[in-house]
Amino acid sequence: MQKWIIGNWKMHKTVAETIEHISALKPLVFRAHSPVWLAVPFTDIYAAAQAALGSHIEIGAQNMSDLLGGALTGEISGVMIKEAGASFVILGHSERRRHFQEDNHNVNRKVKLALRLGLTPIVCIGETAEEKAAGATEQVLSRQLQECLDGVVVDSTITPIIAYEPVWAIGSKQAAPVEIVEKIHHFCHNWIAQLNWQGVSRVVYGGAVSPDNCGDFLKADGVDGLLIGGASLDVRAFTDIVWKAEGIRT
Ligand code: PGA
């Protein structure tokens, strides 16, 4: 099974830094079979896609509008990111939900639009520390899956990827315990299995992933890959994760 290694750069790296980073990363991951994806800032997509040419590194965006175009100052459409070189888009990241008031309904519209445009949506779900403490994790995740994927029809080769990212782990030093991740990934796989999607459903884990802890997650049952924030900004750390995934691939 292949393991998706997906970097989420968040609001980091200029165009010049992007070109330098990808030029350094390219030869280091050249022989890896695992999909290596980088979600970069909008302004870096074109340069990143150009820099990645000739490699299997795929470039994506971290968000997009839920509309195709129009008088929407400051918005970026899926058509634009696709033309710039993106092949996937992260949707509903908890930072978008928290700081920009995005909800499951926005995410649902974006997922449908992304699929229509031929972009692979990575749909982020995850509970907060309070929801976890209240024992509401599965209830919260069910609702996110239900509302984000409502009416989503998958009839092509492009299937959404679900990213389980517990909000309490993101940007912390404390990743979720592997047993919890395994349990939640089974929960998500079972949930998706009811949807009759064509193609394979993939669930990746994100939240404080590092070269030190990635092996445990990559070996865990039902974990199809990793969504990596902080550690994806460093060529060496990210390369280490790619090669750990390569060693675990069956
Ligand atoms: P982190 O971020 O790896 O820095 O915790 C993960 C994410 O937000 O996708």
Burial of residue 210 (CB within 10 Å: 0-12, 13-18, 19+) is middle
Residue 165 falls in the annotated catalytic set: yes
Distance 168 CA to ligand 1 centre (A): 10
Here the tokens at position 184 are 């939640």
pLDDT at 250 over 70: no
Strand-pair category, 161-164 with 202-206: parallel
Question: Which atom of ligand 1 lies closest to the CA of 171?
Answer: 5
81 C-alpha vs ligand 1 centroid, how far in Å? 22
Average pLDDT over residues 3-15: 98
Amino acid type, 116:
R
Mean per-residue pLDDT, 47-58? 97
pLDDT class of 249 with cuts at 50, 70, 90: low
Helix, strand, coil abundance in the chain, percent, nearest 5: 45, 15, 40
CA 138 to chain centre: 20
Ligand 1 centroid to 155 CA: how many Å? 30
pLDDT score at 229 = 98
Catalytic (active site) residue 93:
yes
Average pLDDT, the chain: 95
Question: Which residue among 63, 162, 172, 209 is best mutated to probe the pocket of ligand 1, counting the most ligand atoms within 8 A of its Cβ?
Answer: 209
| Ligand 1 within 6 A of CB of 230 | yes
**Ligand 1 mean position, distance from CA 68 (Å):** 28
The predicted model scores a pTM of 0.97
Residues of the chain with pLDDT > 90, as a percent, come to 90
Active-site residue, selected from the candidate residues 93, 102, 127, 185:
93
| Residue bearing tokens 């070996």 | 219
pLDDT for 1: 80
Q: Cβ distance 188 to 203 under 8 Å? A: yes
pLDDT value at residue 157: 81
User: Taking residues 5-19, what's their average pLDDT?
Assistant: 98
pLDDT in tens, 85-129: 999 999 999 999 999 999 999 999 999 999 999 999 999 999 999
Q: Show the CA angle centred on residue 182, arms to residues 178 and 187, nearest 5°.
A: 145
Q: Is 211 in the pocket of ligand 1 (CB under 6 A)?
A: no
Per-residue pLDDT tens digits for 148-201 = 999 998 877 899 999 999 999 999 989 999 999 999 999 999 999 988 777 778
**Among residues 88, 72, 86, which one has the least CA distance to residue 120?**
88
Binding site membership of 170 for ligand 1 (Cβ less than 6 Å) = yes
Question: Are 6 and 228 within 8 A, CB to CB?
Answer: yes
Residue with tokens 């404390």: 174
% the chain with pLDDT above 70: 99
* CB 171 less than 6 A from any atom of ligand 1: yes
**Measured distance between the N- and C-terminal CA atoms of the chain, rounded to whole angstroms:** 5
What mean pLDDT do residues 42-57 have?
98
Check residue 196 and give its pLDDT. Answer: 77
Is 208 a residue whose pLDDT tops 70? yes
